[in-house]
Structure 1
């Protein structure tokens, strides 16, 4: 299930992208020698490949792109790499894009840091302050960022943004709080990969308060609070969160969700109004999975990728008694 392809699910984990924002990807590594496609028919992916040469800088690549493509017609842009993303901050990329914002009046979708793990592990990607992107592109409808190291966001207001996604193995608490403190009247889809403390994922349930209240997110219909080592605590908070009543899709997947979190979720407010409940990559016992299915007959529930700890670590448990499952052995789907 993938909402960005027109379905009502959530985005997949890292993989090599072939399309973006409904458009096929056209990769640009240096200058454009062949006849480029019409600018509005593709999503343009800019990737620095010769970063150890004097010509191998993002600023050089962007300048050549501006010289060879009518960027006034570009609607989707993917930044696949800059000089050395494991050591160099994305601040230089953000600054270059913001300075040239006038050259992209039609830009509606932007992905910063769309790298495969072969290029750079997700938790090694050095990000920076992405606030200037929202300030420079007031008509932007979709912003996605991969990598949490050094990531920053200042609270603000953006009238047009519909999709906001942060993929990380560790999302800083300051970013989570900034999202909750921002006014996004048009935002329909919010997805946070919270990650683990070892890689900077230090957000607590308290940091989610602004998001869970939904006060500044009146149009929100799909919420993902995923990939967390405190997934049970998040599920318990979601169970009574005001924002849930208006959602169509809810994702608590990719993390350490167990029977305790699911129990709290079922004991909370009704979830039968949801179209999708994404719980994939979980630690739920068989009995709990059956209870969830029975309680939500009209909801598309994804409980795939069950983690069988007994098989993985070789101990015996009673799957109706979650206490037999050692929480210290749980792991999230995306960390390093």
Structure 2
């Protein structure tokens, strides 16, 4: 099968090359998917640059989510059958014509979506559900503040929060992106490059939950705008991992600071999340309340161009490889 391998180099054009690998064989409890489309995510950029190695036992091939058709089933793989159209969360291996994955991490394609749209779901939906709704405990009537609101995760978080009955304050860089976040359903959408961001968030009422993909540069801001009892959930550190925390402010406001990664979680935990997502989020998707926004698609051989677009930060929503 054709795959994309990392061969070194300073940029995507140098590092990503088409190669041949043996066809993977599903083991007990696994299925093999003939991949039609694979989502491109920021952790792929980190892995390409040597900063995010795959967890033990995962493929070294990039790619954390795919959609396609099951073409082989291992023993004990549950109710899945050859020919089922599915999407799946992966520990790696998505930039390939075939991938093997634990059956518990596989979900049916939501009604009304094609395979390209479905490939844009697993990484973002699982991430938002685990961090906003489980760790952040967002409830109907509360306010979610999203930094990086036009990223793939941000676009999904806006829609999922609104579907759950929450209010959304979105921040993004530039007037065009602020307008895009507003169009996606944000109640308040702020251009982070214009005006006093802290004051604007406070004037909008502050936040019960912050979904933070920025990291160090927004640490003081987040502590200032969270309401008493607020939850600050960190899932990326684009401006650095080391931040100054005012512990007295955390104590006085009873702020909960937490964070997580998804890729390193055990298969059983990912299967639990898959079941929750299918039960709670898939109905929102099938009702049209949550839908993936696709910025661009590229054929597998042009994975380097997809990485270049993602690194440039001009996109709104997801970038997908087609196979």
**Is the pair's TM-score, using the shorter chain for normalization, greater than 0.5?**
no
Structure richer in strand, relative to its length: 2
Calculate the TM-score normalised by the size of structure 1: 0.28
Does 1 or 2 have the higher relative contact order (CA < 8 Å, sep 6+)? 2
